[in-house]
Structures are given as structure tokens and as C-alpha cells.
Chains A and B, each alone.
Chain A
Amino acid sequence: MPIPSKDFVSLLQEVGFDFFTGVPDSTLGGVIATLIERRAYIPAVREDEAVGMAAGAYMGGKVPVVLMQNSGLGTSLNALISLNLIYLQPCLLLISWRGHDGNDAPEHLVMGQVMTQQLDLVRIPHRTLAADSVREDVGWAAQVFMKQRVPAALLIKKGVLS
């Protein structure tokens, strides 16, 4: 059973995440619609801009979340490794996993295949969000945030959120 986006956003807010920015993907559509409804979403024009805003918000006392399609991981990689990982500026990355099963539009296939290796390579901890372990997955991300002070990525496949 997919998790309703409203419940997922409520869970994030309960845990303490309170600054949401990013660039949309269809997989994250429900989450972003909920955030907009709750007046909690700040739209960015590029994913590295969103990562920068989140870093600034963290230093301003917020607990930030950045939403993006996995193509945006490529765009934001330099910010993640030369800002967040060097300065120890954490955020939760909600990354939609386009192309994970090789069955998506052509532009998503390579990134879909190499994304987890890429995250491993730059040492960004990640987990794939699962409908039956959402609370645990979000709790894990919050732990990485608080203890390691680095970005933690939750990878979201199509159909996990409704």
C-alpha cells in the first residue's frame, strides 16, 4: 500500500524538518502539493541552488529538506561535496529514483542505474524509502542528520507515495 503524501509530510514535520525547498518531479508531486498547501515550500530554480538555500537555512537554525529528481543529483553534486560534506551542513535529500528498473524515458536510464553508486562514491548515506518502514526510514535520516551532520538521502521510487 502506498503512503499518502500528506501523512509522509506530517511525519517529516513531526520529526522536526521545517524548511522545504527543491525542484519538482512527478514522483514527488503529492509531497510538493501538500507542502504548498501548508505554505511550507520554497521553490528553487536549480537543485544546487536548493542545496545552497538549505545549507543557509540550516545555519539559520532550520532543519532542511531538499526535494529533487535524481537528474538533479548530477546538478547539485559539487555543492554537496564542496559545501555540505566539507562544512558539515546536513539536510534530508528526498530524491525520486527515476529509471531504477530500466523502464523509464531514455534520459533517466543512466542516472537510474548509477545513482546509488554515485552516492556511495561521494559518501552520502542513503536508503530507499519503503511503504512498510517509512517511520524507520525517516528516523534513520534524522539520526544521520543529527549525529553525522551530513546530507542523508531517501530514494523514492514511483508508487511508494500516493
Chain B
Amino acid sequence: MRPEEGVLTSRSRAIGAVLELLTNELVVVCNGFPSREAYALRDRPENFYMIGSMGIASAIGLGVALAQPSRKVVVLDGDGNVLMGMGTLATVGALKPKNFIHIVYDNEVYGSTGNQPTISQSVRLEQVAKAAGYRNVERVRELDDLVYEARTMLKQDGPSFLLVKVSELAEDVGRVEIEPAAMTRRFREAATGGKTS
């Protein structure tokens, strides 16, 4: 707990609030609890859930965004993941894909392995994103602000970066029940409209 910050929104609520805003956007969710929570809250063919390969959710999302420039791509990421693959902030900042929206749920811990602290309490990830060249950068704590900023970013040209401070609470949710290869096929079809070989 971080009492000096008051009561923070849970990540699950904050993920749910974003998922509710979506129509046909393609979503890549990082490994660990974020994927499990998103799957439990609102599964859809346009969602891709990572189970391993920590650190590269944003790289996967960037690849989708570059391959499908007419579709909006939303990456639901965590502070541990961003810190691990921080170089990708630079790649996004340099390439500036307009259709790329990076939402980072920052609970300042590695939640899926037992809440060991990350270093995001002292490193302002949104400032790193700003310096790297993301076009729109915001940091929010309240659910209302999250909804407002996410809605705005879904309409704006990106790349956009939204840091959402959330609590350490992880919902008691099961694993993602979709077999990985089936998920690839499902997401690929959703991304391409089935027009692939």
C-alpha cells in the first residue's frame, strides 16, 4: 500500500474502463495478470493475450500497427514490461505510427510473481515516452481521467502514451483458456479480415 497516494483504482477496473470504449481496435495485452483480467472482463477476437515473452508486448503491438496502418492498435502494458523493453519506447518514438496507443498500468510491482517492487516509483515512464518522441503523453490516477484521456487518444493521431497509476490488487481470475496457436489464428483473422495466405 502507498497511503500517501490515497486509494488507487484497481488495474482490473482500469482495464475494464478502456475495454468498454473499444469498437474494432486491435489490442495486445502483456503477459501475466493484465492478460488474465482482460480475458475475464471482455474477451473479443481483436484481443491478443501474451503468456510469456515478457517485455515485448509493445513490440508485438508495433508490428501489428505497422502491418495494419488503417487500424488502431492498443497495447495494454505494465510497468515491469515497459521497463524490460524500454528500448521499444524509442523505436515507437522514432517510427511514430499514428495508429499506436500505449496504455501502461503502473502498480509499481511485479504483480504476477509476488509483488516485488519495480523501479517505476522513481522513474517516470511517461516522461521517458515523451522524450522518446510519443506525440501525446498523459499520466492519470482517477478513473474519470483515464476514460477521458483514453477516449481522446482513441480519436487522435498517435503514437500516444497513457500512464495509469493503479493499485497492486490482482483479481482472482483464471488463466486465458484459448490455446496459443488458436489465438494467433483468431487475432490474425480479426486483424486482416481473413485476407492472408
The residues of A with any CB-CB pair to B shorter than 8 Å are 16, 19, 21, 42-46, 48-62, 64, 78-79, 82-83, 86-89, 146, 149
Contacts and interface: CB of A to CB of B under 8 A. Distances in A.
Contacts of A89: 184
Given A52-B57, A52-B60, A59-B60, 19 more contacts: A19-B66, A42-B95, A45-B88, A46-B85, A48-B53, A48-B59, A52-B63, A56-B65, A56-B67, A57-B64, A58-B63, A58-B188, A59-B48, A60-B191, A61-B68, A83-B52, A83-B60, A86-B181, A149-B181
Given A45-B91, A59-B188, A88 B62 contact: no
- Nearest first, the 6 closest Cβ-Cβ pairs linking A and B are A56-B63, A60-B67, A82-B52, A52-B59, A52-B56, A53-B63
* Of A49, A59, A78, most B-chain CB atoms within 10 Å: A59
Chain B residues touching A, range? 35 or more
Contacts of A88: 180-181, 184
Given A42-B66, A55-B60, A88-B180, A49 B53 contact: no
B90 interface: yes
B55 interface: yes
A86 B67 contact: no
Interface in B156-197: 180-181, 183-184, 187-188, 191-192, 195-197
Contacts of B29: none
Given A49-B88, A82-B52, A83-B53, A56 B60 contact: yes
A60 B64 CA distance: 5
Contact of B187 (A53, A59, A83): A59
Contacts of A44: 59, 91
A83 to B, nearest CB: 4
B50 interface: yes
Contacts of B34: none
B61 interface: yes
B32 to A, nearest CB: 13
Contacts of B67: 19, 56-62
B56 A146 contact: no
A83 B196 CA distance: 20
B87 interface: yes
Contacts of B48: 59
A32 to B, nearest CB: 16
A56 B60 CA distance: 4
* Of A42, A56, A61, A64, most B-chain CB atoms within 10 Å: A56
A83 B66 contact: no
Contacts of B197: 16, 146
25 contacts: A19-B63, A42-B66, A46-B87, A48-B55, A51-B56, A51-B59, A52-B57, A52-B62, A52-B63, A53-B62, A53-B66, A55-B63, A56-B66, A57-B66, A57-B67, A59-B60, A59-B63, A59-B67, A59-B188, A60-B65, A60-B66, A60-B67, A61-B188, A61-B195, A87-B183
